């Protein structure tokens, strides 16, 4: 009897380290969004709290999603993987329709819902993870043939990727590819399949860059910051200036100069520049360390999952968080060209925050049932 009670109570153990790290990141993100956006919010909306209040609403929804998903058996969600993915494809299609999709800064990536902009590509990321887990679980007991996996996994991924590229959103398309390839090879996909796919992915990436003038300009700016100082190179030059100004300990919270209309859209994908400027190298390392800790916790959950589905699902969620962090931070410190990907839990963007907090809820479910 005692053994049964212990087994039941073990299912409700809370992963406190993961939850605490998530709470710290979300709260710090809200503080930084208020700090970084106060000038732009007052200028554009006459309300210094505009971006902060929007993100707070999404953080509240994210908290609800985290709690609910942590209590649901993830196996039940995996069963709906194909339905979730079809719904995601539908949203990716309708967002391209001018009468439905909202166009901001030349990109049609959002659907306006009751005054809030929802980004279907963010939902598609987590839907792809569930779909991939569902498909790979079906292949678990069989020899994986390249044609079969191309047809049922990589072709649907390619369709979603093309739809996102049409928005256009190269950063999210790269994450789609990373999720599919990462989960496939974690599930035991043969190495030679990977060797065949790499040239295809690289070739498609090159085509995606050279066929869009703004992407090509970003690439040129990456290699030569002086390429177009008042145009394509302006944002990255201002980001570099802000990061360099932080020094070791930073200029102090609230004292950033970059947020005074120097860095475009500083509250979103460039928010780490303000973090580096105000908190310096030490503060930046602490934030990166916290993100790495969360990613490590996710990998630990994956390694200890009780079954194949839990392992693949956790790996997919880990790739989602890690790839977004890597692409964002890599672009801010000029290791890669700017991609427009938000920094998980920190950048302004309700859809991204909701999906990230949902991912944590699912990871806790996997840990709880392990």
Decide if 100 is inside a domain. Answer: yes
What average pLDDT score do residues 144-150 get?
77
Q: What is the pLDDT of residues 26-46, one digit of tens each?
A: 999 999 999 999 988 888 888
What integer pLDDT is reported at residue 285 of this predicted model?
A: 96
Count structural domains, the chain. 1
- The whole-angstrom separation of Cα 252 and Cα 255 is 6
Decide if 58 is inside a domain. Answer: yes
Residue 8 has pLDDT above 60, yes or no: no
What pTM was computed for the model? 0.91
- The whole-angstrom separation of Cα 134 and Cα 6 is 31
pLDDT classification of 141: cutoffs 50, 70, 90: low
Decide if 188 is inside a domain. Answer: yes
Decide if 6 is inside a domain. Answer: no
Give residue 50's domain range: 13-368
Decide if 272 is inside a domain. Answer: yes
Q: What is the pLDDT of residues 162-216, one digit of tens each?
A: 999 988 888 899 999 999 999 998 888 878 777 888 888 888 877 777 777 777 7
From 86-90, 122-126, 358-362, 366-370, the region with the lowest mean pLDDT: 366-370
**Using alpha carbons only, what angle is made at residue 193 by residues 188 and 196, rounded to the nearest 5 degrees?**
155
Q: In whole angstroms, how far apart are CA 59 and each of 65, 294, 356, 357?
A: 10, 18, 10, 8
Q: Is 259 exposed, middle or buried (0-12, 13-18, 19+ CB in 10 A)?
A: buried
What average pLDDT score do residues 151-167 get?
91
Query: Higher confidence at residue 351 or residue 141?
Result: 351
Decide if 290 is inside a domain. Answer: yes
């Amino acid at each position: 009897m005692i053994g049964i009670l212990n087994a039941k109570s073990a299912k409700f153990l809370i992963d406190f380290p993961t939850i605490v790290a998530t709470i710290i990141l979300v709260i710090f993100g809200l503080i930084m969004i208020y700090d970084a956006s106060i000038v732009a919010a007052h200028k554009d909306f006459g309300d210094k709290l505009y971006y902060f209040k929007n993100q707070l609403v999404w953080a509240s929804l994210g908290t609800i999603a985290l709690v609910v998903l942590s209590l649901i058996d993830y196996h039940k969600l995996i069963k709906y993987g194909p339905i979730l993915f079809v719904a995601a494809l539908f949203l990716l299609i309708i967002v391209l329709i001018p009468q439905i999709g909202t166009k901001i800064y030349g990109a049609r990536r959002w659907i306006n819902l009751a005054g809030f902009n929802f980004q279907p590509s963010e939902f598609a990321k987590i839907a792809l993870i569930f779909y991939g887990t569902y498909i790979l679980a079906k292949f678990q007991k069989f020899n994986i043939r390249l044609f079969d996996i191309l047809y049922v996994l990589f072709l649907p991924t390619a369709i979603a990727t093309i739809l996102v590229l049409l928005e256009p959103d190269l950063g999210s398309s790269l994450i789609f590819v990373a999720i599919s390839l990462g989960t496939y090879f974690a599930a035991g996909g043969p190495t030679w399949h990977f060797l065949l796919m790499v040239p295809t992915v690289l070739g498609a990436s090159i085509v995606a860059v050279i066929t869009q003038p703004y992407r090509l300009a970003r690439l040129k700016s990456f290699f030569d910051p002086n390429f177009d100082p008042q145009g394509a190179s302006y944002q990255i030059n201002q980001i570099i200036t802000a990061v360099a100004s932080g020094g070791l300990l930073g200029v102090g919270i609230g004292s950033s100069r970059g947020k005074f209309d120097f860095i475009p859209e500083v509250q979103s994908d460039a928010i780490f520049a303000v973090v580096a400027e105000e908190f310096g190298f030490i503060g930046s390392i602490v934030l990166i360390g916290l993100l790495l800790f969360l990613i490590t916790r996710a990998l630990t959950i994956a390694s200890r999952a009780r079954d194949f589905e839990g392992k693949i699902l956790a790996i997919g969620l880990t790739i989602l968080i890690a790839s977004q962090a890597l692409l964002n931070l890599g672009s801010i410190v000029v290791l890669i060209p700017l991609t427009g990907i938000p920094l998980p839990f920190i950048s302004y963007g309700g859809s991204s925050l909701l999906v990230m907090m949902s991912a944590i809820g699912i990871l806790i479910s996997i840990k709880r049932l392990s």
